[in-house]
Structure 1
Amino acid sequence: MVKVLFVCLGNICRSPMAEAIFRDRVEKEGLQNHIEVDSAGTGKWHQGEPPHAETRGILGKSEISYEGIRARQVEEGDWKKFDYIIAMDRKNLQDLKAYQVAHKDIKVVKFMDYVPNTDQQDVPDPYYSGNFDETHELIQEGCNTLLKEIKQENGL
């Protein structure tokens, strides 16, 4: 079982959007018994809350379920559980890399590494920008690329 964790700051906009979209892709390909997906935040401000209303809205328009997704903070156990930890921006990556020292076997990367043909370094945080459509488009593209890579690397 390949386990993927998406991480942003508060776990109510970008990372739950990525979790829902990636889970949808995994299920549509019949890989739910091979790939597990979750999301978390580096901060704990929104713990227990559902995704942001606009995140829920944009996922709903795409008929992608966000059922069961609740904000939580990255915890020590995540480093033992997940194979891929995907940071939504450079600051999240920096925060995660501080913990990676003791867990060198886990792949910790920036989400935008999976979005080809762009100079953007970070998935813009729509909590601040208000542009949920841009974030949604980038996440869709990155999730497609990430799933292809995981399938190739794991013979799925």
Structure 2
Amino acid sequence: MISVLFVCLGNICRSPMAEAVFRHQVKERGLEDRIAADSAGTGDWHLGKPPHEGTRALLDRLGISYEGIRARLVRPADFESYDYIVCMDSANERDVRRLFGCRSSERAQVLKFMDLLPEKKTADVPDPYYTGNFEEVYELVDEGCGRLLERICSERLNESRV
């Protein structure tokens, strides 16, 4: 099973949205038995809580399930448990790399989400907890998750778009 962990600050807006959207795209491709997704945060303010109401409202409107998603902290063991650790902004990436230290892993590939969308003018996925713009975040997340899924299919499953 190929596993992806999306990471943001509080794990209630961006990373759970990415987890839900990615799971939805994986399911649409019929790959849910081969690819799994999760999300976590670098801060502990919202542990155990469901996604932010703005994220839930947007996902509900689009018919994308967020069932079972609850905020949790990223932990050192995640480095050995996930194939892709996708950070929603530069600060999250820095925190994740600091948490994992200098250890190398044959498994985990840490990347910044916006590196999947190099043509975009922003380095980080904006945090809608502060901006309130969940639509903008969804558009980036939807496109970036699609690119990540294509990358995984190409690199790990030797498949291309169906």
TM-score between both structures, scaled by the size of structure 2: 0.93
Q: CA RMSD, aligned part only?
A: 1.0
Which stretch of structure 1 is more off in the superposition, 57-66 or 113-122?
Answer: 113-122
Q: Is the 8 A contact 1:3 1:83 kept in 2?
A: yes
Q: Is the 8 A contact 1:9 1:43 kept in 2?
A: yes
The Cα shift of 1:100 comes to: 4.6
Question: What residue in structure 2 maps to residue 80 of structure 1?
Answer: 80
- 2: distance between equivalents of 1:119 and 1:148? 22
Aligned length: 156
The 3 A distance-change label for structure 1 pair 30 and 100 is: farther
The Cα shift of 1:79 comes to: 1.3
- 2: distance between equivalents of 1:130 and 1:10? 15
Q: Is the 8 A contact 2:80 2:105 kept in 1?
A: no
The Cα shift of 1:77 comes to: 1.9
The Cα shift of 1:143 comes to: 0.4
The one-letter amino acid paired with 2:12 is: I
- 2: distance between equivalents of 1:58 and 1:113? 24
Q: Is the 8 A contact 2:85 2:111 kept in 1?
A: yes
The one-letter amino acid paired with 1:71 is: A
> What is the percentage of aligned positions where both structures have the same residue?
53
The Cα shift of 1:19 comes to: 0.1
Which runs of 5 or more residues in structure 1 are unaligned?
none
Question: What residue in structure 2 maps to residue 6 of structure 1?
Answer: 6
TM-score between both structures, scaled by the size of structure 1: 0.97
Question: What residue in structure 2 maps to residue 141 of structure 1?
Answer: 143
